[in-house]
Structure 1
Amino acid sequence: MSSPTSQTTPLTNESLPSTSQSPPSCIKTNAKKSKNSNSTPPEKKPKVHSNDNILFMYSGLFLTENQWLTSSHIDFALECFDKLFTHIFMEFVFIDPTIDQIFVVNVENRHRILLTNIDPSVQEQNYNSIESYEEMSTISRKWFIYDSLNDQKNSFATKPVLKFLYPEREFHHVSMVEVIPQVDSNDCGLFTIAYAYVLSRRNDPSNLRYDQSSMRKKFNDLIKFNYLYEFDFSEVSKSRNVFPLIL
């Protein structure tokens, strides 16, 4: 597959339509803050702390035992994945941000789900037969929802994103992938990060049972070292169940 000669502008939080809920986080953003022509505010420096002779930044993002993830937590994780998985010389599968998309969507400020057009079971096989970037960009991509509660009613929250991407369409076809659900209601943000990591490697998270007891420590290690040590999980023997939805 040849490398792209140009890239389309990726979706950013600023470009999303205004809704009553928080905008989704995207795995690729190039948002720029406007500059004040009269004065330049002082640059805010990230917090730097030490622990066991190790210096680390962004300690304000450390998670407590029952703390919910905020948009800042999600954005930090996705920015790390963006750097890891969009470099063509990395040992992992090359993820092109103009083709593969991952969004973390806020559902009424009470839950987070993941929306993506990455299909690890099909699309990688199709891509191997494509000769050019231009040919790849014409492929009709399917969209999938991963919800750690497996609640199809939450799918409505993805409609503003799909409407932005396809303004000419009245209805949108998506599929909800059944996953092994979380145990409580505090870790939905961590599950979306876990799904994003696995999907970025073109693996299927639907049959993974995550060890929730260690997920917060893994995320805090990401804050410390700017590197995600993969969430602990065990594979469960189950078929991949996908439920088609129309929004």
Structure 2
Amino acid sequence: MSDKKRIECVIKDQVAYVSLARPDKRNALDMAMFREIDVTIKRLRKDRSIRAVIITGRGEDFCSGLDVKSVMASPKNPLRLLFKWLPWRSNLAQRVCTGWRRVPVPVIAAIHGRCWGGGLQIVLGADFRIATTDATFSIMEGRWGLIPDMGGSLALREHCRADVAKELTMTAKIINAEDAQKFGLITHISDNLITAAESQVAELIKHSPDAVAGAKKLFNKSWTGSRGMALLRESWYQIRNLTSKNNRIKVWNQTHQNNPAKPFKNRKRW
């Protein structure tokens, strides 16, 4: 196995730019990439200074899916990916999708070329997905006699109808960006990916990082589930938000728009 890094992460102006960096293999997921994505997510979760994450892929494709030959080279690798102590918690395979949901800042996936199989699972964990007009998408696992097992089913139930999710999964068909947007898999289409992603970040960071983090956690936890728990979380998260320094800064900036805006503090632990 190559010692070359699979993931590159650069933080600039409080934005983390995360790149899948295996372009010679179309950013296909091997064991090293699974581990490096997991480590990167954990590091970003702890960094209370960042305001957003932008995920990209180096080379011709965002991610062509699982590197089946590499992963299957050892019979222990599937067990390493699927093993978990607690059945309701994410395993390594699932954390590369579900982990982004736990990063308390907006996560934007900037997608070009192929976004198949595990690649699609990764971006479904992001909050927003921007794709080029020539990007293609597929729940590719069916071609290998598999079902999706990387946590994307959680996001699919939020983004598209059940019949659409079943058809895409059972047929493993490849769809274009226009259809992906129609089905709810992507948010925007743009051929200026980084410009579009950074423009969205610029809009998001005008607001309190605690309010943004609270809103993300609220919707991730309450989009499905009981009405009562959703109402409870609304109240509790709002109390946490109102007691933050960033709430007071946002109110001051909003009521003193003729003055230079005060900078926000590092967010609370959400």
Same fold by TM-score greater than 0.5:
no
Instruction: Give the TM-score normalised by the residue count of structure 1.
Output: 0.28
TM-score (norm: length of structure 2): 0.26
Is the helix fraction higher in 1 or 2?
2
Using CA pairs under 8 Å that are at least 6 residues apart, name the structure with larger relative contact order, 1 or 2.
Answer: 1
